[in-house]
Structure 1
Amino acid sequence: MRLGLQRVVMKAESGEPEEWVLLPKFRTEAWMPGLDWTEGRIPVAPGSNRGLEAGDGILGQAWFAGRVWTFDYPGRNLWLRAEGDLPKVAPPHRVTLGFPSDSAGKRQANYPRIQVRVNGETLDLLFDTGATLSLTESAQKALADERPAIRATSFITRSTYERWHQRHPDWRVIEDGDTNVPGSTLIEVPYIEVAGHEVGPVWFTTRPDPNFREFMSQFMDEPVEGALGGNALRFFRVTVDYTQAVAVFELVP
């Protein structure tokens, strides 16, 4: 509404009307790529859509698809790179991502799967630059870091959390920490290993097992146990080539 974007009303498969908007005509120096698969249209989410609390919308997997991006967390920049343009790093810091494809090799979705290691255990996670939680008042008091309640996180299934907590009772835990899912628990993992780097600490927020093992895994090439979010990626400049299914991690001092 504030931007006055052109509205397009279309009929969904259910027969119900769906509201979309078109990106404006940008100045040359302010251009941004559109959504190719929708001919530049962006769906309008209901005002109560969970996940929009910290902003006005979401640029998702379809927008990133087919392009090369650098997520420069320390520099607070997102860069669109030329096709095939990847930073040169040592082999351990260049990793292959998993994407679902059909029998003919055609990409079915663009949710990347990445492997990390926690205390020697390899986990398959969704590479999720948008993973977010909203801290409860009690969690804010426990953390006492004067940062916003809505912030980046990483997610883990409840079952994996229970295993971690049993094996490592010294790892810091905050009960009922996320207002988005009552009863969610936060656990601080001292360090994780990703793309040949060891970084931490990283807070993980629990989600019911079916959220990832059933729902999210249906869009992945293999089952996932959670998501690797911005609070773990914040140590890096991460360049992701969605076409080649490769990610390059540069540790920023």
Structure 2
Amino acid sequence: MSSPLLFDIHFPQGHLALWLQAIWSAQVPMDQQGVTRRLVADAGSGVLFNIGEPILVDQQALHDPVMFESTNKQAHFIHLPSGTDLIGVRFQPGMGRLFQTKLAKQESTTGPLQTSEFIQSLFVRLKDCLITQERIDLLDKAFYQRVSSMTDIHDPVLKAVELLQQSSRVDLLDALPLSQRQIERQFQHRLSMSPKYFQRLRRVRAVLLALKEGRNHTRLAELAIEYGFSDQAHMTRECQLIAGITPKRYINRKLLP
């Protein structure tokens, strides 16, 4: 049976990809049953525009039309009821806090991101769009124009995130022109976590994505070594702690991240 969830995702290209992982849309028709999904931690943050019914995250109802999702450090369950109509942007790790800070300076405000003039104007325009692709195009263009003057190619957090996404070795950060203490402080400020914890999140997410794609279902020990765990037991413990599910249970339930 096909899922009643209508989900679309767009991966920004070029300059915008430094800031955004994705622009996405999720809808559940009024004549369909609600959908519950597990959200695996990805160290990202986001802005969610809710044009439909209130949703539930970990059984807590969220009624605000515009919400800023803080850095995701652990797994959550999201329930999308009948009448769900959401669209959002997902920032790259560490970039949501930076975007909020720079936008506040541009607008000379101190309020939360979701109350900014830029975000509120987007919400009004999104409500007038009935076609999903038009909404995605609107967000892509608006965020591209906004971040064009914000990017610092020498951003130490961006460089550190790139290194940790490419390798499981935290010692690669020694190549950055910052001390370990400075890097730790920058990560805590922007991501509310240490570089080591960020690395742990990315490894667990990489394992679950590999399992979703059908790779190494029967060779978990090899998968553990491939993604930098000491052994299968280590991988199992990390997945249980961070994602709330072991690799074997993930395979059996065939859950989506």
Which has a greater percent of helix? 2
Which has a greater percent of strand? 1
Same fold? TM cut 0.5: no
| TM-score scaled by length of structure 1 | 0.24
| TM-score scaled by length of structure 2 | 0.24
